[in-house]
Every structure is written in structure tokens, then in C-alpha cells.
């Protein structure tokens, strides 16, 4: 008997979390082996590991507690990896040397797989005078471009996809450029961006007052606060970015506001962190804790919940001691404060099981009550740990209990902290759980509503064929098992049927007892008016949220996948994109138009000949295949491999310009070469330059280093209806916006890592 609730869960485990040898041979024979590995590793830091290992195993069993993916994949493997998901890096100095020192730290962190967040507000604006140099500053956006290139370079070296967050204060002189930077589809592709919105700015917006853009006391520009707010709103309405972070509210509520100031978050926004802060994540699976689901006595077992939370807190505290860190400064910060981020997943499924409609007033009240219980249990467990192991080193009772979050905490919890201290400075956070929710049997993700009751997923088999399987939401499957073919009750709702303000209500209800923050996407219909859209953000502010992220499908952002309520059909999206997305690779036509280019690389006896052939669709050419030939047999294997890989990507359709970016970012450690007066870092970069030149000449790209050229609303003849962008990991057309990140429902791949 398998412990997995669905085939996709076992596939995710095998693909993401199963410990294997370098050649792919499994070391974890079963998922029980994985649980044992994690439990043994985290118990090893205890004085009595034999006592705690079975207790840790018990909470992992049957997916009741889900440590974040980094812990699940890395704990007990003895590999040189960090068990922390993401980091906020050090404050960027406003000097060239300091900026590039920070870039180096970012690269070292990303090399170990850590996502990073940075506040770029500390860099002087574009055009400001640089002391000691007869030049003007290039501004923070120019350095963000450098970070972006670094991230692509780390990726091209074989590491996991990079995830970065950039923030900028709403009073920085370059804020307008920051807001609109990602309107260029070729720029800042590795970043999520968010504006740090202050209380003073929100007051100025509501009062329609002027707003100064200032750096180091100097006013560079003034405008109406409403005008800037509308610029932010318009950009996120049309392009889904930037997000909004209510930074003063975050700092006021922070338990540690007596010893730190926060100016940035990790890439998904659920962890506002100080310089060198790290986020350590784990989730309680609420869907596993409901007794008599869909029955007359359906309820969440609160005693089991409290015990589960207490053990989870102890496990996560042990991760601080068990983990490696990319930088010593990150380790010092983690050990000084021992912050953890315990959250939930499967909340929407749990609400369904007790008969509550997600987004309703009743569901919000129940969510708040459950989050309150989790917070109580977590804080009391941390107090018990402080009695046993000591409080976190920077604990100061007076400062700690005076914070906004602790002022509302229950009196008995406050008394216990005052008397005994607390082991972990912050304890709760609701993180993106897209992959681990699939691993747990496709439970609803984080505090998000159910995305789809069911959808069809294509699975690539070892022989190259694809089979189809139905992926069913955990609660829906439980309903089917218990009720047979009975119609789903009307309280079954999904992300597409909810009103945006119902999303806000649920986020605000959960936020009251979450001491860090929440990663959540508020889905908005495409036809929502701009004024109604702005009301969503104002409601988030008025109801006490710490930030807001929305997603409105349109021709620029792409369409959210839709499914029928019965869930019997594969999810499909609208065809209105300006890029052709192909649901299956195209067969090669008898003849194609193309061009062959000669590349003579210095110190190479034979030239490379690169042929790029194009497909003609509705009078427009797009790259379809590449051939790379050379008489130099040393090049044979890698040129054939590159030919096949690039051609396979091109035949999938969509925005394939990233192929050029990745090739051009490859640096040869032996050194590049000067070609036609331009330094090319490697022969692969030279190939990328040739392909880019071809794309520009044929009109596919606007220009060198630029994005896609506008393409008419093209349709692919003799193909299935276009479904939007394919997942870059598995190729399936199952991308959806989840908790602020485009996430694949088929393989769990997420842009944010």
C-alpha cells in the first residue's frame, strides 16, 4: 500500500524530495525512508536524539507536518546545501565598491540555491552627482540590471532557477522608473518587484496631498500622492507588478522592532526580513486534521493541532542548528534571533470539510480562530523551549512585549514570555506551498482557495510517450469517496468564482495572528474596472494586511487557466496573446526559410556554420530550428546536443528569446575573445549572438538585447487551441498564478523557486 493520496504526489516526491545518488539511483527507497532521514537529521541536535526521532517521524507521517522543500530534500543528505529557503541580503552601500561587494554575496547565496531579497532604495537616484568623480549616478535600476544578469549567469552554470525580490521606497526619486521597469518584457526577468508603501504615503493618498520624492534630505521632485498611487495601480493592473508592501505596518508589528529595521522581503513576500535575515518555513496540513469530514460532526481536532504545532516548532528550531549557510553573516543573524515561519496549507480544503464557503464571513471567522490557536500553541511551545534551551540571544522582554504584534497576544502567553523568555523571535508565516501541497496529495495551497476541482495532466513516460491522468483536489476526492456521485454542495467555490474582496477578507483574517506575513494572490477578473481594482488594494490597507499581490489575466500577463466546475476537461486559456504558444511540438514542414551564418572563433582551426530556419505563420517568421556544423570533431558532441535542445525549445513556441539570453550569459573560464571589436565571453555566447541577430533581422525581436517585436493576434492552424505559456521545466500548459508566483500544476515548478 502506498502512503500517497494521488499519483502526482508520488511523482513530486520522486522528482523533488527523494534522496538519490549522483547517478539517479534512489537512496530513499520509500517515502517512509525520507521521513526517517529528516527526523533523524533534526533529532541529531537534541541531547536525547533517540527520544525525539520517533516523535519527529510521527508528525511527518501521512503528511501532517510539511517542512519546506529545502528541508525535505536536504536534511540528512550531508550535502553542502542550506535548509533555509530565502534570504534578505545586507543593506546596499551607496558606493561602487559596496554595491559590487553585495553583488558577490548575492551570487554566493544563489549558488547554494537561496532566493534573495534586496532593498534598492539606498542607491542614489539617476542623475545625482557622484562625489570625487566628474559623473552623474546611473541610478538603482542600472544596478538591478547587473543583478539580473548575475542571476541568469548562475542559472546558466547549472544551479536551480534564481528567485529575487527588489523593493524600493515610495519616496525614492526613481520610483516611477522602478514601477514601470518590467513593462519591457526583456528586462528584470529574474526579479519580482514591490513598492515599500509608508503610512504617511497612504494618508497623503486618502487626503489627496502632495508627495515629495527625496534622497538624503534633498527633494528631487513633487507630485500628487494620488498620481503616484495611480501609477502603481495602473502598472499592476496591466502587468501584475509591482506588488505593494505596507512597510511601516510591518515594522510596527515586528516583535523585534527594538533591534532591527525591515526594508525588504524574500521573493514571495511572506517573510519580511532584516539585513542577512533568513526564512525557515514549514506548514501544518489542515486538510489532514478534520474529523468526520463533510459529516454532521465535522470539526478540526484542536488538541491534535496544538500537539502537532508544538513538535513542529521544535523541529524547525533545530533546523537553525542543523543547516549550513551561504554566508557567515546569515548564520549569525539566524542564531541571534532564531526566527521560524510556521504556516498552514490545505486551509481551503479544511473549510470545505467543515461545510464553510471560502471567502464568507463565517469562513474568515473560523480561519482567524484556527490561526489564533496555532499562534498560541507556537508561542507557548517556544516558551517551553526557552525554559529548556534558553531564549534567543537578543531577547529583551520589555522591547519584545511592546511590539504591535505582542500587544494583542493573550495575557497568559505574554506572562509566560515575561517570566521565561522565548526561544524564537518570530514563529508564524504563511508561505507558498505549491509543490509541497501536490506532494501531500494535491491539498489546497497555503491559505489560497481551491484552484480547480480537477484537471487532466499529461505525464511523460520513460519510453517518450505521454499518458493522461486526472488530478483531483484532495477535498473533492474525499467527497467523491464518501458521497459517490452526489452533487457538490454550493459552498464548494474555487479561485475563479470568488470576488476579489472575499480574497482580501481571508487574507486579513489570517494576518491577525501571523507575526511575519502571508504569500497570497488575489485573483481579479479580466473585466474588473480600474476603480474596482484600486479598491482591492485600499481594502487590503484598511483591513490590516501587510501587503497585497493581485493577478488580473490579460493579453500581457497571460490567462489564468480555467476549468469546468465538473473538472473533467483539461484546463485551457484564452488565445489572445501576441506570441504563439504551441500545445504540442510541431512536425517539420517539407521546406523552411532560413539563413546560414559563419562564425570564426579565434584559436580555432575550423569555423562554425550556424543555420537558423523559420516557420511562417500568418505572414510572420518565428525561429523553428537550428543546425550547428563544424569540421572540428572536438565540437561534434556538444554542437549536436545544442542543436537538438534549441530546436526542441523553438518547436514548443512562445517567447523563446530567453534562449538567446542564456547563451549570451555563458562565460568561458579560460577567457573569451574579441570579435569584430566586441568582447564575446565564450563560443556559446557567440552562437547566442548569431541567433539573436537572426531574430532581429526577421522581425521576431525588436533589437539586440530587446524584447519581442509586436506580433499580430496569431492563430496556429491544425493545432489545439493555444493555452498560454508552457512550463519551462516540464513543458506542460498548466501554469497558474499561486501565492504571487507563476506555478506549474503538473510538476510543481515555480518561478520563485
pLDDT single digits (tens) 552-604: 887 666 544 434 344 333 333 333 334 444 444 555 666 788 888 888 877 67
The single residue listed with the C-alpha cell 564575446 is 680
Query: Looking at residue 570, what is its pLDDT?
Result: 32
Residue 433 located in a structural domain:
no
Query: Looking at residue 160, what is its pLDDT?
Result: 52
Are residues 614 and 623 in contact, defined by beta-carbon separation less than 8 angstroms?
Answer: yes
Are residues 379 and 427 in contact, defined by beta-carbon separation less than 8 angstroms?
Answer: yes
Query: Looking at residue 466, what is its pLDDT?
Result: 67
Indicate the pLDDT class of residue 734, thresholds 50, 70 and 90. Answer: low
More confident residue, 614 or 365: 365
DSSP for 671-712, written as a single string: --EEETTEEES-HHHHHHHHHHHHHHHTTSBSSTT--BPP--
Could you report the per-residue pLDDT of 696-719, keeping only the tens digit for each?
Answer: 888 888 777 665 544 333 333 232
State the catalytic residue, choosing from 254, 257, 266, 318.
Answer: 266
Residue 306 located in a structural domain:
no
Mean pLDDT of 231-257: 95
The single residue listed with the C-alpha cell 499518458 is 467
Query: Looking at residue 732, what is its pLDDT?
Result: 58
Gap between the Cα atoms of 713 and 178, Å rounded: 29
Gap between the Cα atoms of 534 and 526, Å rounded: 14
Gap between the Cα atoms of 425 and 273, Å rounded: 12
Are residues 137 and 124 in contact, defined by beta-carbon separation less than 8 angstroms?
Answer: yes
Query: Looking at residue 659, what is its pLDDT?
Result: 85
The single residue listed with the C-alpha cell 534571533 is 337
Q: Over the Cα atoms of the chain, what is R_g?
A: 26
The single residue listed with the C-alpha cell 500587544 is 407
Computed over every residue of the chain, the mean pLDDT equals: 86
State the catalytic residue, choosing from 53, 105, 241, 270.
Answer: 270
DSSP for 446-486, written as a single string: TTPPPS-SEEEEEEE-TTS-EEEEEEE-HHHHHHHHHHTTP
Task: Using a pLDDT cut of 90, give the percent of the chain over it.
Answer: 57
Could you report the per-residue pLDDT of 423-450, keeping only the tens digit for each?
Answer: 999 999 999 888 899 899 999 999 999 9
* 752 classed as catalytic: no
Which three three-digit cell numbers place residue 593?
526559410
Are residues 610 and 659 in contact, defined by beta-carbon separation less than 8 angstroms?
Answer: no
Nearest to 346 by CA among 15, 63, 749: 63
Give the HSE-up count for residue 569: Cα atoms under 13 Å, Cβ half-sphere: 8
Could you report the per-residue pLDDT of 607-618, keeping only the tens digit for each?
Answer: 888 999 988 766
* 266 classed as catalytic: yes
Residue 268 located in a structural domain:
no
Residue 360 located in a structural domain:
no
Query: Looking at residue 158, what is its pLDDT?
Result: 43
Are residues 573 and 559 in contact, defined by beta-carbon separation less than 8 angstroms?
Answer: yes
Residue 67 located in a structural domain:
no
Query: Looking at residue 583, what is its pLDDT?
Result: 44
Residue 187: pLDDT above 90? no
Which three three-digit cell numbers place residue 442?
494535491
Indicate the pLDDT class of residue 333, thresholds 50, 70 and 90. Answer: very high
Those residues with Cβ within 8 angstroms of residue 655's Cβ, 6 or more apart along the chain or in another chain: 185, 579, 708, 725
Those residues with Cβ within 8 angstroms of residue 124's Cβ, 6 or more apart along the chain or in another chain: 94, 130, 137, 139, 215, 216
CA angle 668, 674, 677 (to 5 degrees): 145
- Phi/psi for 653 (5° steps) reads 85, -170
More confident residue, 510 or 616: 510
Residue 180 located in a structural domain:
yes
Residue 472 located in a structural domain:
no
Which one of 232, 253, 274 terminates a domain? 253
Which three three-digit cell numbers place residue 47?
541531547
Are residues 284 and 312 in contact, defined by beta-carbon separation less than 8 angstroms?
Answer: yes
Which one of 651, 681, 697 terminates a domain? 697
Mean pLDDT of 142-168: 77
Give the HSE-up count for residue 204: Cα atoms under 13 Å, Cβ half-sphere: 20
Query: Helices 683-697 and 636-650: crossing angle, nearest 10°?
Result: 30
Query: Looking at residue 717, what is its pLDDT?
Result: 28
Query: Looking at residue 736, what is its pLDDT?
Result: 67
Query: Looking at residue 308, what is its pLDDT?
Result: 98
Q: Which domain holds residue 93?
A: 88-253
Could you report the per-residue pLDDT of 9-32, keeping only the tens digit for each?
Answer: 898 899 889 999 988 899 999 999
State the catalytic residue, choosing from 86, 170, 268, 741.
Answer: 268
Residue 197: pLDDT above 80? yes
DSSP for 14-26, written as a single string: IIII--B-TTS-B
- For the ranges 48-52, 451-455, 479-483, 634-638, the one whose mean pLDDT is highest: 48-52
Q: Where are the alpha helices (DSSP H) in 208-301?
A: 225-239, 247-253
Mean pLDDT of 640-657: 80
The domain total for the chain is 2
* 32 classed as catalytic: no
Which one of 697, 723, 743 terminates a domain? 697
Query: Looking at residue 341, what is its pLDDT?
Result: 96
Gap between the Cα atoms of 601 and 607, Å rounded: 7
Distances in Å between the alpha carbon of 265 and those of 122, 199, 537?
15, 18, 19
Query: Looking at residue 575, what is its pLDDT?
Result: 33
Residue 190 located in a structural domain:
yes
Amino acid at each position: 500500500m502506498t502512503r500517497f493520496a494521488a499519483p502526482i504526489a508520488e511523482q513530486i516526491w520522486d522528482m523533488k524530495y527523494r534522496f538519490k545518488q549522483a547517478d539517479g539511483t534512489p537512496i530513499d527507497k520509500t517515502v517512509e525512508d525520507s521521513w526517517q532521514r529528516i527526523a533523524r537529521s533534526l533529532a541529531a541536535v537534541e541531547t536525547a536524539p533517540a527520544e525525539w526521532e520517533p516523535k519527529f517521524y510521527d508528525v511527518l507521517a501521512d503528511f501532517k507536518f510539511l517542512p519546506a522543500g529545502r528541508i525535505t530534500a536536504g536534511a540528512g543528505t550531508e550535502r553542502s546545501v542550506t535548509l533555509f529557503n530565502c534570504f534578505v541580503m545586507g543593506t546596499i552601500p551607496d558606493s561602487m565598491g559596496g554595491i559590487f561587494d553585495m553583488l558577490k554575496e548575492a551570487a554566493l547565496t544563489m549558488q547554494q540555491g537561496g532566493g534573495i531579497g534586496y532593498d534598492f532604495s539606498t542607491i542614489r537616484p539617476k542623475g545625482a552627482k557622484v562625489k570625487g568623480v566628474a559623473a552623474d549616478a546611473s541610478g538603482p535600476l542600472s544596478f538591478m540590471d547587473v543583478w539580473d544578469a548575475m542571476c541568469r549567469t548562475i542559472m546558466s552554470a547549472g544551479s536551480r532557477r534564481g528567485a529575487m525580490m527588489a523593493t524600493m521606497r515610495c519616496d525614492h526619486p526613481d520610483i516611477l522608473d522602478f514601477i514601470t521597469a518590467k513593462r519591457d518584457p526583456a528586462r528584470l526577468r529574474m526579479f519580482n518587484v514591490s513598492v515599500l508603501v509608508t503610512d504617511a504615503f497612504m494618508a497623503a493618498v486618502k487626503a489627496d496631498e502632495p508627495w515629495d520624492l527625496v534622497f538624503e534630505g534633498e527633494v528631487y521632485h513633487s507630485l500628487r500622492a494620488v498620481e503616484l498611487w495611480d501609477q502603481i495601480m495602473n502598472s499592476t493592473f496591466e502587468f501584475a507588478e509591482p506588488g505593494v508592501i505596507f512597510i511601516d505596518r510591518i515594522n510596527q508589528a515586528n516583535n523585534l522592532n527594538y533591534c532591527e529595521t525591515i526594508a525588504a522581503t524574500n521573493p514571495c513576500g511572506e517573510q519580511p526580513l532584516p539585513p542577512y535575515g533568513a526564512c525557515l518555513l514549514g506548514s501544518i496540513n489542515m486538510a489532514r486534521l478534520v474529523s468526520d469530514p463533510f459529516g454532521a460532526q465535522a470539526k478540526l481536532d484542536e488538541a491534535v493541532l496544538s500537539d502537532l504545532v508544538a513538535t513542529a516548532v521544535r523541529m524547525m528550531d533545530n533546523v537553525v542548528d542543523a543547516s549550513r549557510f551561504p554566508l557567515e553573516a546569515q548564520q549569525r543573524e539566524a542564531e541571534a534571533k532564531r526566527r521560524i515561519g510556521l504556516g498552514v496549507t490545505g486551509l481551503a480544503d479544511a473549510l470545505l470539510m467543515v461545510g464553510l464557503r471560502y471567502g464568507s464571513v463565517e469562513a474568515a471567522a473560523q480561519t482567524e480562530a484556527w490561526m489564533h490557536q496555532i499562534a498560541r500553541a507556537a508561542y507557548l511551545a517556544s516558551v517551553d523551549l526557552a525554559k529548556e534551551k534558553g531564549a534567543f540571544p537578543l531577547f529583551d522582554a520589555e522591547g519584545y512585549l511592546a511590539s504591535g504584534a505582542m500587544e494583542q497576544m493573550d495575557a497568559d502567553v505574554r506572562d509566560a514570555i515575561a517570566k521565561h523568555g522565548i526561544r524564537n523571535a518570530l514563529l508564524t508565516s504563511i508561505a507558498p506551498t505549491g509543490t509541497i501541497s501536490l506532494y501531500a496529495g494535491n491539498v489546497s495551497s497555503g491559505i489560497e482557495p481551491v484552484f480547480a476541482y480537477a484537471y487532466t495532466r499529461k505525464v511523460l513516460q520513460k519510453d517518450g510517450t505521454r499518458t493522461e491522468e486526472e488530478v483531483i483536489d484532495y477535498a473533492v476526492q474525499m467527497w467523491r469517496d464518501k458521497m459517490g456521485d452526489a452533487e457538490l454542495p454550493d459552498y464548494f467555490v474555487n479561485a475563479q468564482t470568488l470576488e476579489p474582496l472575499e480574497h482580501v477578507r481571508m487574507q486579513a483574517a489570517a494576518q491577525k495572528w501571523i507575526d511575519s506575513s502571508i504569500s497570497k494572490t488575489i485573483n481579479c477578473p479580466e473585466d474588473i474596472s480600474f476603480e474596482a481594482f484600486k479598491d482591492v488594494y485600499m481594502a487590503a490597507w484598511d483591513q490590516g494586511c501587510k501587503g497585497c499581490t493581485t493577478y488580473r489575466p490579460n493579453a500581457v500577463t497571460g490567462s489564468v487557466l480555467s476549468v469546468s466546475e465538473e473538472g473533467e476537461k483539461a484546463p485551457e486559456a484564452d488565445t489572445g496573446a501576441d506570441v504563439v504558444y504551441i500545445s504540442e511540438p510541431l512536425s517539420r514542414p517539407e521546406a523552411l526559410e532560413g539563413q546560414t551564418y559563419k562564425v570564426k572563433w579565434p584559436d580555432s582551426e575550423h569555423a562554425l556554420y550556424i543555420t537558423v530556419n523559420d516557420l511562417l505563420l500568418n505572414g510572420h517568421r518565428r525561429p523553428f530550428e537550428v543546425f550547428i556544423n563544424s569540421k572540428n570533431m572536438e565540437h561534434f558532441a556538444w554542437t549536436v546536443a545544442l542543436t537538438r535542445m534549441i530546436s526542441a525549445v523553438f518547436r514548443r513556441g512562445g517567447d523563446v528569446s530567453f534562449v538567446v539570453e542564456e547563451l549570451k550569459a555563458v562565460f568561458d573560464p579560460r577567457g573569451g575573445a574579441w570579435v569584430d571589436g566586441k568582447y564575446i565571453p565564450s563560443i556559446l555566447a557567440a552562437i547566442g549572438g548569431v541567433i539573436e541577430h537572426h531574430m532581429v533581422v526577421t522581425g521576431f525581436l525588436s533589437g539586440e538585447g530587446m524584447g519581442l517585436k509586436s506580433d499580430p493576434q496569431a492563430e496556429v492552424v491544425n493545432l489545439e487551441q493555444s493555452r498560454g505559456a508552457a512550463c519551462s521545466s516540464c513543458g506542460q500548459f498548466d501554469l497558474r498564478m499561486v501565492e504571487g508566483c507563476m506555478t506549474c500544476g503538473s510538476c510543481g515548478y515555480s518561478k520563485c523557486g
